[in-house]
Structure 1
Amino acid sequence: MANVLYLFVDISSFCSSLIMLFLFFSDLSWVY
């Protein structure tokens, strides 16, 4: 059961980092 929890945390952190990258690049596209 603990493995599922760790997997969920890993996936959520991965998704949040993807969202941060997406926002970062969209901000760059707005600048240029």
Structure 2
Amino acid sequence: MKTIQHILEAYVVNSITQYTSRFNLKEGFI
């Protein structure tokens, strides 16, 4: 269970990072 939780947490962090990068690109790196 701990391994699954770790993978899910890493996936969430990665998704947030990608979303933030896309948002910054659209907003002109504000």
Identity %: 7
Match in the other structure for 1:4: 2
Give the structure with the larger helix fraction: 1
Kindly state the Cα deviation for residue 17 of structure 1 after the two structures are TM-superposed: 0.3
Counterpart amino acid of residue 27 in structure 1: L
**RMSD, aligned α-carbons:** 0.3
Bigger Rg, which one: 1
| Matched residue count | 28
Structure 1 runs of 4+ aligned residues shifted over 6 Å read: none
Gap runs ≥5 in structure 1 = none
